[in-house]
């Protein structure tokens, strides 16, 4: 017991050396948000005869105005992360009012003996394409010390057609023999300097016995033709088994701020300092994440779960199950000063809820796709933000 306490204390002291003064947070009613309607897009036990369970929601809007929703389709109701799965997509051409039937994006390849993990969707507005990144692990090569492989699907007509899955390690030597699971959620294309046009997907490592990096990002400066590993943050203690209160972040989502810097919001796996979120910043396009730019945000309570963050105009939005101990209370919070303070919060579902993904719809509307009812459904919510 004394060793655990000592290690947690040393970790706190180490990070405190790099942190600046703490940020003060306040809640006001400076902005308003309301739920317009909610609809279940996938329900366990309903739909595909082969895939009965759906998890890991991803939502994005395309430049032609469509909304695209993605999930993992799993074989059985009680399926785990490491069983056979596929990736489904649904499209809405009327801003979430109606949705096309699900499309199996991996139908031609999902007979491979392994499993897929979503994943990030990246919209390349400059090149006019969508890139869906996900990981694949063959069953015979999926022990805790083996690394999954990153794959990519590309669409040049906003999701109407997709290429065959491309193994990024085969064309990018720097991605071979590394542990990287993108997302889950969305990646970004930088719209400001430095590195305007760069595609970025942030994620985490998987191998528990070889955690050199807790959060890392991969980048492409040629519209997804090639990728390489960029910056990240190491776990503390480094390359060592972890205990409660140790520093390890994963399942990260990022936004680009108007000054060209990146703000990353991450899952705080072992509740370092608090049962809340951890943020980090990069001023060089994800090449580095200085310790001086790492903060805990005690106003974002979190039970160690994935969350989502987007920039809607100049309003920063964040969604997660806002509860320090349980995956309950799906909530969307908003900030008008890029996360220094949080102006308000809207509870979407006070009951069981888990992973989520936000996406802009238009100037006044936002979509939320989230896991609801102890993973029984993946539900879409349309929100109006004033």
Classify residue 113: in a domain, yes or no: yes
- Mean pLDDT, range 224-247, rounded to an integer: 89
- Identify the weakest region by mean pLDDT among 71-75, 107-111, 233-237: 107-111
Token pair, residue 99, equals 């949705």
pLDDT confidence tier of residue 221, bands split at 50, 70 and 90: very high
Say if residue 351's pLDDT is above 70: yes
What percentage of the chain has pLDDT greater than the value 70?
84
Neighbours of 1 (CB within 10 A): 5
Q: Which phi and psi angles does 353 have, rounded to 5°?
A: -165, 150
Classify residue 45: in a domain, yes or no: yes
Residue 81 annotated as catalytic: yes
Residue 54 annotated as catalytic: no
- Dist. CA 305–CA 355, nearest whole Å: 7
- Dist. CA 374–CA 376, nearest whole Å: 6
Say if residue 185's pLDDT is above 50: yes
Say if residue 111's pLDDT is above 60: no
- Mean pLDDT, range 324-353, rounded to an integer: 97
Average pLDDT, the chain: 87
Element (H, E) at 263: strand 262-268
CA distances in angstroms from 200 to 100, 132, 293, 349, listed in the order given: 29, 12, 19, 31
Return the pLDDT at 149: 87
Residue 38 annotated as catalytic: no
- Dist. CA 262–CA 180, nearest whole Å: 20
Token pair, residue 161, equals 């057609």
Which of 105-109, 115-119, 360-364 reaches the highest mean pLDDT?
360-364
- Identify the weakest region by mean pLDDT among 5-19, 174-188, 265-279: 5-19
pLDDT confidence tier of residue 146, bands split at 50, 70 and 90: low
Domain count, the chain: 1
Return the pLDDT at 77: 66
Return the pLDDT at 12: 42
Overall residue count recorded for the chain in this entry: 386
Classify residue 386: in a domain, yes or no: no
- Dist. CA 65–CA 61, nearest whole Å: 6
Classify residue 259: in a domain, yes or no: yes
Say if residue 322's pLDDT is above 80: yes
Helix (H, G, I), strand (E, B) or coil at 7: helix
Say if residue 238's pLDDT is above 90: no
Classify residue 385: in a domain, yes or no: no
Classify residue 224: in a domain, yes or no: yes
Residues 289-305: pLDDT tens digits?
A: 999 999 999 999 999 99
Could you tell me if 321 and 299 are in contact, meaning their C-beta atoms sit under 8 angstroms apart? Answer: no
Return the pLDDT at 177: 79
CA distances in angstroms from 10 to 272, 293, 304, 307, listed in the order given: 12, 19, 22, 28
Return the pLDDT at 28: 37
Q: What domain range includes position 154?
A: 2-380
- b vs e for 229-247, b when ≥16 Cβ sit within 10 Å of the residue's Cβ? ebbbbbbbbeeeebeebbb
Q: Which of 81, 193, 222, 244 is catalytic?
A: 81
Q: Which phi and psi angles does 10 have, rounded to 5°?
A: -65, -40
Classify residue 290: in a domain, yes or no: yes
Classify residue 64: in a domain, yes or no: yes
Return the pLDDT at 22: 33
Q: Which of 248, 269, 302, 371 is catalytic?
A: 371
Could you tell me if 132 and 200 are in contact, meaning their C-beta atoms sit under 8 angstroms apart? Answer: no
What percentage of the chain has pLDDT greater than the value 90?
69
Q: Which of 151, 355, 370, 375 is catalytic?
A: 355
CATH number at residue 132: 2.120.10.10
Q: pTM for this one?
A: 0.90
């Amino acid at each position: 017991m004394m060793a655990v306490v000592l290690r947690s204390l040393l970790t706190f002291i180490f990070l405190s050396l790099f942190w600046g003064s703490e940020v003060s947070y306040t809640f006001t009613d400076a902005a308003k948000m309301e739920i317009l309607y909610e609809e279940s897009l996938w329900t366990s036990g309903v739909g595909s005869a082969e895939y009965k369970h759906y998890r890991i929601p991803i939502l994005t809007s395309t430049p032609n105005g469509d909304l695209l929703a993605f999930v993992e389709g799993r074989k059985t109701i009680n399926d785990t992360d490491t069983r056979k799965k596929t990736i489904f997509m649904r499209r809405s051409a009327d801003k979430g009012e109606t949705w096309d039937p699900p499309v199996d994006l991996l139908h031609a390849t999902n007979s491979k003996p392994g499993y897929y993990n979503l994943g990030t969707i990246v919209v390349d507005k400059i090149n006019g394409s969508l890139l869906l990144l996900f990981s694949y692990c063959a069953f015979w090569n999926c022990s805790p010390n083996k690394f999954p492989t990153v794959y990519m699907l590309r669409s040049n007509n906003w999701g109407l057609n997709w290429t065959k899955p491309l193994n990024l390690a085969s064309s990018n030597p720097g991605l071979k023999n590394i542990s990287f699971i993108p997302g889950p959620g969305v990646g970004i294309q930088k719209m400001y300097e430095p590195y305007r046009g760069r595609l970025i997907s942030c994620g985490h490592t998987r191998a528990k016995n070889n955690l050199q990096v807790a959060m890392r990002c991969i980048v492409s400066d040629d519209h997804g033709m090639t990728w390489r590993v960029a910056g990240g943050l190491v776990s503390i203690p480094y390359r060592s088994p972890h205990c409660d209160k140790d520093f390890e972040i994963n399942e990260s989502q990022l936004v680009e701020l108007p000054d060209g810097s990146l703000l990353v919001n991450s899952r705080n796996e072992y509740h370092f300092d608090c049962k809340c979120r951890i943020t980090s910043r990069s001023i060089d396009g994800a090449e580095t994440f200085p310790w001086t730019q790492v903060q805990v945000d005690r106003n974002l309570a979190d039970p160690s779960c994935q969350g989502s963050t987007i920039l809607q105009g100049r309003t920063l939005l964040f969604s997660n199950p806002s509860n320090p101990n349980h995956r309950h209370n799906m909530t969307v919070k908003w900030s008008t000063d890029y996360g220094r303070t949080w102006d308000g919060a809207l509870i979407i579902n006070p009951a069981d809820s888990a992973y989520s993904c936000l996406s802009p719809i238009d100037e006044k509307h936002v979509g939320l796709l989230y896991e609801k009812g102890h993973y029984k459904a993946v539900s879409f919510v349309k929100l109006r933000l004033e």
